[in-house]
Structure 1
Amino acid sequence: MSENKITYIKNENVKEKPASDQLSFGKYFTDHMFIQDYTPDKGWHNARIKPYEPLILDPAAIVFHYGQTVFEGLKAYRTEDNTIQLFRPDKNMERLNHSNDRLCIPQIDEEFAIDAIKQLVEIDQDWVPNAPGTSLYIRPFIISTEPYLGVAPSANYQFIVILSPVGAYYAEGINPVKIAVENQFVRAVKGGTGEAKTAGNYASSLKAQEQVASEGYAQVLWLDGVEKKYIEEVGSMNVFFKVNGEVITPELNGSILEGVTRNSVIELLKSWDIPVTERKITMQELNDHYEKGELEEAFGSGTAAVISPVGELAWEGKKMVINNGDTGEIAKRLYDVLTGIQYGKENDPFDWLVKVK
């Protein structure tokens, strides 16, 4: 049961907007937010867009104690003709419900959620930046709000959407990063919550990220949590390798998050007749390809960076320099086409875009 009507309370005290060249990631927030409540008797109800403000929650709310929460991340883009558009929001809402199922959170109405996001973005449209590479980051999330210290799913929830103008991920152009292969810590295991987008997955990754950062690496390459030999993700991104002209990405196995950008990359590669395979791949196999000169490219894919080339991998005391540390041809083409579609500079043959205004 749900009530699909959105009330609107205008913020009369709007904030000063940051300059486009001062934007970083997730630092500034717009004037309004969307909230919808869930109770067992009413289902999802009381949907409203209201001034952005702090939440009031009981200290015993389940979200604080047992981490029953899920989230998503997508963007709104302003094109040269001043159109504002979203990129594949249906996939994000589909994944949000997949995460909901894993965390015992009630399903949302996906079409209504997209409509709510569109209304919220349209209200705060002046916050969508227009400098090259900038965008409006959209963070939908659901929290468990019932005050209860028993270990059980919450009875009550809030579905919230906030917006944040963000700068270009690559201020000086797309550049390869150095990655360290993680052998000590575990991100997720099959049967766990790795395929859900939930807060605990990210909290558990912080220690490894902190350690490699102190050694000069941008992120970690995660291996599987059981045998610690199969490649899974790079940081919080999906990962791809080009070997002998074939692009390989780890297959979805219950511990890997199914990325929207990952799916888009696979569809694009297939449309270009570039061989792409989803399968298990070990670090040893990757190293063997590297030793033979067959490892041609490596890159991550995700909402924030779109495509992040990997120029170097550190594994077991060895440094594997990929493509001379330069951005590969496939990575660059994918980045150019995906961002071109998002900003309306390229055709959208897959019908991925949803117009806001």
Structure 2
Amino acid sequence: MSLVISVEKTQNPKEKPDPSSLGFGQVFTDHMFVMDYTEGKGWHDPKIVPYGPMEFEPSTMIFHYGQAIFEGLKAYKTKEGKVLLFRPQKNMERINISNERLCIPEIDTDFALEALKALIKLEKDWIPEAEGTSLYIRPFIIATDPFLGVRPSLTYKFIIILSPVGAYYKEGINPVKIYVESDYVRAVRGGIGYAKTPGNYACSLKSQVEANKKGYTQVLWLDGVEKKYVEEVGTMNVFFNIDNEVITPSLEGSILAGVTRDSTIELLKSWGVKVTERKITIEELYDAHAKGTLIEAFGTGTAAVISPIGELSWNDNVIKINDGKIGSLSSKIYETLTGIQYGKVEDKFGWTVEV
């Protein structure tokens, strides 16, 4: 893609937030990347502009038919001042997997990564350096035709925004409490569960709200047909250490192929840990707990990296996992992945990319 990115710098730079008070997704940097798509012309007019409101007609298709996709990754600053990305090409590739499912034109992944790097270089001073902080990166594509009618849009915008963030969960690396959803469903095979698209998250909100009222941090979804097979938590893939075998639900079209999930599997295998990707029922988990073979459970995702699971509630049956404490394997994975991301641990896999 032989495109040149134009740059318009802000005339009103914002004050940087106090790193110690950072939450997640609440503060945004001075600039954003924007590129347009027009049928017959392709992707064009890439530019970096001041972050701010965008104007759309009320009839714009994204508002009515939900044709959109997004991604999430992070930039990390090392103690030497280098800026590292963690497997960004995997996120760019997944954009096109989501694009294909949502009938959105594919992007040039190499150009998208170069655009992302250009934006981060401009916003380098926004990357926080306090322990556990990073710069969250949100690329997304939305349908922009001003048209009321069910068809793929003929125009789109590809946008990247940046947000300095602290820990995703207020619990930090401490185990989270998970509510197992038995009534509502999120996705089925043949649907859009494997794509990173807003609709997957919109349909999860009702259950999430009800789980929060009961004191639970997140929802664990079961399959949408039999409601017995474990799939994923709303913001992360899940792993279960049963009798020293780490089991994670297999990718069968209804759950997201997480980058951190894939990294965790590679890491565990490199340590000689037995990892199995297969269907697993919620009953099997509860039976394993009753037998004392459910050693630990954890979730994986870009936002929190590793989230130990300390409690599950399924049909009012509550079980504590590893006495509600972080497991040794969860801790080792977390320390290793974050160590690689921040340049503290040798990257034997070639996962990090310097900006």
Give the TM-score taking structure 1 as reference length. Answer: 0.98
Instruction: After TM superposition, give the deviation of residue 318 of structure 1 in Å.
Output: 1.3
Aligned to 2:349: 350
- The answer (yes or no) to whether the contact 2:201–2:234 under 8 Å persists in 1 is no
Residue 256 (structure 1) shift: 0.5
Q: Provide the rounded CA distance (Å) in 1 between the counterparts of 2:245 and 2:340.
A: 24
Q: Look up the match of 1:294.
A: 293
Q: Which residue of 2 aligns with 1:46?
A: 45
- What is the aligned partner in structure 2 of residue 70 from structure 1? 69
SS in 1 for 2:265: helix
Q: Is the 8 A contact 1:221 1:233 kept in 2?
A: yes
| Distance in 2 of aligned mates of 1:171 and 1:223 | 25
Say whether the 8 Å CA contact 1:231–1:280 is kept in structure 2.
Answer: yes
TM-score, scaled relative to structure 2: 0.98
SS of residue paired to 2:3 = coil
- One-letter code of the match for 1:287? Y
Q: Are 1:16 and 2:15 counterparts?
A: yes
Q: Which stretches of structure 1, 4 residues or longer, exceed 2 Å deviation after superposition?
A: 168-173
Instruction: Tell which deviates more after alignment, 65-74 or 51-60.
Output: 51-60
Query: Which sits farther off after the overlay, 314-323 or 105-114?
Result: 314-323
Residue 171 of structure 1 deviates from its aligned partner by 6.0
Residue 178 (structure 2) aligns with? 179
Match status 1:239 vs 2:238: yes
SS at match of 1:185: coil
> Map of 1:197-236 to 2, 5 A cutoff?
197-236=196-235
Are the equivalent residues in 2 in contact too, given 1:3–1:44 (CA < 8 A)? Answer: no
Corresponding residue of 2:120: 121
Letter in 2 for 1:122: K
Identify the residue that residue 30 of structure 1 maps to in structure 2.
29
Q: CA RMSD in A?
A: 1.0
Which residue matches 2:164? 165
Q: Go from structure 1 to structure 2 and tell me whether the alpha carbon gap of 1:28 and 1:184 turns closer, same or farther (over 3 Å shift).
A: same
Q: What is the total number of aligned residue pairs between the two structures? A: 355
- Is the contact between residue 133 and residue 169 of structure 1 (CA under 8 Å) also seen in structure 2? no
Q: Cα distance 1:173–1:194, how it changes in 2: closer, same or farther (>3 A)? A: closer
Q: Secondary structure at the match of 2:182?
A: coil
Deviation at 1:235, TM superposition (A): 2.2
Rounded to whole Å, the distance in 2 between the matches of 1:29 and 1:261 is 24
Shift of 1:168: 2.8
Are the counterparts in 2 of residues 175 and 327 from structure 1 also a CA contact under 8 Å?
A: yes
Separation in 1, partners of 2:176, 2:128: 26
Once the 2 structures are TM-superposed, how far is the Cα of residue 41 of structure 1 from its aligned partner?
A: 2.0
Distance in 2 (CA, whole Å) between partners of 1:172 and 1:237 is: 16
SS in 2 for 1:210: helix
Partner of 1:102: 101
Deviation per CA, 1:222-260: give whole Å up to 9, x if none.
000000000000222100000000000000010010000
Q: CA deviation at 1:287?
A: 1.2
Mark the CA change 1:104 to 1:4 in structure 2 (over 3 Å): closer, same or farther. Answer: same
User: Which residue in the other structure is 1:338 paired with?
Assistant: 337
Displacement of 1:58 in angstroms is: 1.5
Q: Are residues 56 and 89 of structure 1, via their aligned partners in 2, closer, same or farther at CA, if it must alter by over 3 Å?
A: same
The one-letter code of the counterpart of 1:327 is I
Question: What letter matches 2:40 in structure 1?
Answer: D
Aligned to 1:84: 83
Offset at residue 145 of structure 1 (A): 0.2
In the alignment, the residues of structure 2 paired with residue 313 and residue 279 of structure 1 have an alpha-carbon distance, to the nearest angstrom, of 20
- Determine the structure 2 residue equivalent to 1:255: 254
| Mapped partners of 2:15, 2:346: distance in 1 | 35
Alpha-carbon deviation of 1:87?
Answer: 0.5
State the percentage of identical aligned residues: 62
SS at match of 1:277: strand
Q: Which runs of 5+ in 2 are unaligned?
A: none
Residue 169 of structure 1: CA displacement?
3.4
1:142 paired with 2:151, answer no
